[in-house]
Chain A
Amino acid sequence: MDEKVPRSNIIETEIPMGTVHPAALEPYRVRLFVEDEIVQEAEITIGVNHRGIERIMEGLPVEKANSLTEKICGICSNSHIYNSCRTAEMGLGIEIPERAVYIRVIMEELERLHSHFLYLAHGCEVLAHETFSMRVFYMREIVMELLAMIGGNRVQYGCSVLGGVRPRCDLDEAKILRLKNDMDTVEQNLSDFVDRFMADSILLSRITGIGVLPQKQAIELAVTGPTLRATGVARDLRTTMFEYDNFDFNVITQPDGDVKSNLVMRALESFESIKIIRQAIANIPDGKVVTRDWEMFDTDIIQSYIEVPRGTLYHSYRLESGRVRHCIIRTPSMANIGAMQYACIGDQITDAQLSIVQCDPCFTCTDRAIEIIRR
């Protein structure tokens, strides 16, 4: 696909939106430079959310730091605590029990489901299609109830701990049965929704060819996650993670990189997640869920990359007498901001927020090290 070129460089006016805006939800500022309702350039200002998590983590005992990483993001909170524990486990050479790996995978995939449903619902809401948005939110409620059943809270379940998962999150027969039944319901509802969605020609005319991110540009901008896969690049870190070795799933790609590809991408990936959860509950091994026989020692800098609902998540720190030092966290939306700014170009103002939302922004995650200059 060709590179998008702005039609002209005449900037008629600039429209700032935010930091409070119904389409954005999160606080960030967008400046759209437009010529006759066509966006010529977009500029996203973040830094509004900066809270300095890494600064707080510095010097904390590693168990505390792990549970603190959950507070980075309320959508993919499990991914953060999971990756943070994984980092320490890699450094300390802890072998976690097989059952814990399965439970972690179940949690991670449930979270992917709820994140993707949130994406679909929010996308429909920005399209001003209230009915579809409500229907997806209704499906999402089932997943939220499951997460609350396993973790004990609707957001921030605190499932992973160093050496496995919290004993509270262990799955008994009843929980597995409920998980199984609810997966059937979710799959049924989701496939009904997708059929209905793809049959709606009005909606499709609204989303086809909008917010296009060409593949070449996506690779140049180092876009990650579903947003990259929606441009046709089959890159999914789950294929390289040892946790997913025993699971059979497909890496979904979509060709176009527009809003339609992105929405379809998320819907199809949700089916894959359901598949993984089914495999996990069918083959879940017996045994304990947490191992306590490990020793703390000082390590070099440890790095861990995992695939989270929105892309690649990177955690790295070193351990020094049981405390976290030099912590760095890089979240997927950091790379995707470039894609958001690019995807807006050449579309109507009404589509600009949609083009930003299609890259699945999570600026709460993203606001990391930013220096605040006081005048």
Chain B
Amino acid sequence: MFENTMINPIISVILTVLVCFVISTLLPGIERKYIHARIQQRIGPPVTSPGIMAPLKFIYKKSTEVSSPVPGLYKALPIICFIVVLCILIALTPQAYKIPALASLVAIVGFLKVEEICYVLMGALSKSVMSVNMPFPDVVKGAAHLNATRSFIEDISAKRSLRMITYGSFPLYLALFAPVTAARSIFLQDIVAFQQTHGPFLFTVSGGIAAIVFFIGYMIILNEYPFSIIKAKSDVIEGPYMEYAAKYRAVVVLTRGFFMFVLGAIFSVLFIGVPPTIFSPAILINIIVALIFVFMMGIFSAFTPVFTNRQLLPTILSATLLGILSIVIGLL
């Protein structure tokens, strides 16, 4: 009896995570094939290519020496990112609600912060061949500024990630705390229980506004197109991920799809009150919510150019104000 109570939850969490992970690998392909390619009037890649086959291929490549001052840490960062995302998903499953320290909003916010700090470190530690390291004789006598420090393009990306930590992720965190105003508790268990008795928080005024703010925050933290300033192709190419090759790149690609799913799951827990678990058919709602978010993000990103700091600040500011509004409405 004692064994059952201990092992069953663990097995169910592992199964849930596995199912979610498998579904999440399809998300980048769905975004690319069914949204971007359809909008651009072309056939597009097979659904499995960007999310499943590309990481598999990267696993089979030989790893190269990373050009970085601290290669060990740099290589460890994507794995840390993956573990963080995994922890968030575990915290969302109903089996984890027995550990209040894990299954609370504070823990989730903490995990998301770790993820963001990883971007800064990645950017600062990557020294790719595409800028200063390119063997090109461009330092000449009589140049305009002789003794300027030379930076890699990834350094710019690191600075931008730091800026995104300071103000860029406000909307997401505000949206995360909006349901707290209704449930009056930061523990996921109470939030879910509250919504199961009172109906989903999404369909209240405060919840509706918070959902919009959550969507903007979702795109910001995923660095998807309008907000992809830390990996804008027009200047920093791929930003923090420049130097990842072979299996580390596979982890990076997998983490992205997984993160898309997990953020969708956060939404379905906080705003609809459906925790992901494979023992109930309600997991379909989690999957549908994740898909809807991917669809919306795909459509939005296909029609917007990349934002510079000039556009980012007002956008994030207005999203933040909306978030504050939703919290105030919730409190009233």
Contact = CB atoms under 8 A, between A and B. Distances in A.
Contacts of A17: 130-131, 153, 235
Interface in A158-215: 200, 202-203, 205-206
Contacts of A138: 41
A370 interface: no
Interface in B24-76: 36, 39-42
Nearest to A196: B303
B305 A21 contact: no
B236 to A, nearest CB: 8
Interface in B219-245: 225-226, 228-229, 232-235, 237
Interface stretch (B140-148, B170-178, B184-192): B140-148
Contact of A128 (B131, B305, B309): B305
A10 to B, nearest CB: 10
A331 interface: no
Given A14-B145, A16-B138, A134-B41, A126 B304 contact: no
Contacts of A15: 131, 150-153, 156
B40 A130 contact: yes
Contact of B234 (A22, A29, A200): A22
A13 B150 contact: yes
A43 B228 CA distance: 26
B235 A18 contact: no
Given A16-B134, A18-B136, A29-B138, A37 B148 contact: no
A134 B302 CA distance: 11
Nearest to B159: A37
A22 B138 contact: no
Interface residues of B, number: 43
Given A13-B151, A15-B131, A29-B136, A128 B233 contact: yes
Interface in B300-332: 302-311
A4 to B, nearest CB: 15
Contacts of B5: none
Contacts of B305: 124, 127-129, 202-203, 206
B41 A350 contact: no
A131 B302 contact: yes
Contact of B136 (A19, A33, A353): A19
A12 B151 CA distance: 10
Interface string A6-49: 00000111111111111100000101010001000101010010
A127 B306 contact: yes
B309 A348 contact: yes
The size bracket of the interface on A is 35 or more
Contacts of A354: 234
Contacts of B143: 31, 43
B148 A33 contact: yes
Contacts of A126: 234
A348 B310 contact: yes
B149 A13 contact: yes
B132 interface: yes
B320 to A, nearest CB: 19
Contacts of B39: 131
Contacts of B311: 202, 205-206
A128 B138 contact: no
A189 to B, nearest CB: 12
A18 B138 CA distance: 11
B151 A202 contact: no
A5 to B, nearest CB: 15
B42 A134 contact: yes
A348 B156 CA distance: 11
A257 B73 CA distance: 47
B234 A350 contact: yes
B145 A11 contact: yes
Interface in A110-165: 124, 126-131, 134-135, 138
A88 interface: no
A108 interface: no
A130 to B, nearest CB: 7
Contacts of B131: 15-17
Given A15-B131, A17-B131, A129-B305, A22 B40 contact: no
B241 to A, nearest CB: 14
A348 B234 contact: no
Interface in B120-167: 130-132, 134, 136, 138, 143-145, 148-153, 155-156, 159-160
A9 B232 CA distance: 27
Contacts of A324: none
Nearest to B151: A13
B233 A202 contact: no
Contacts of A277: none
B304 A129 contact: yes
Given A13-B150, A14-B149, 16 more contacts: A15-B150, A16-B132, A16-B136, A17-B153, A20-B130, A31-B143, A33-B144, A41-B144, A45-B136, A45-B138, A128-B306, A129-B303, A130-B40, A134-B42, A135-B40, A350-B235
Instruction: Sort A-B residue pairs by CB-CB distance and give the 8 closest, nearest first.
Output: A128-B306, A127-B305, A14-B148, A134-B40, A13-B151, A129-B305, A348-B308, A350-B308
Interface of A: 11-23, 29, 31, 33, 37, 41, 43, 45, 48, 124, 126-131, 134-135, 138, 200, 202-203, 205-206, 348-354
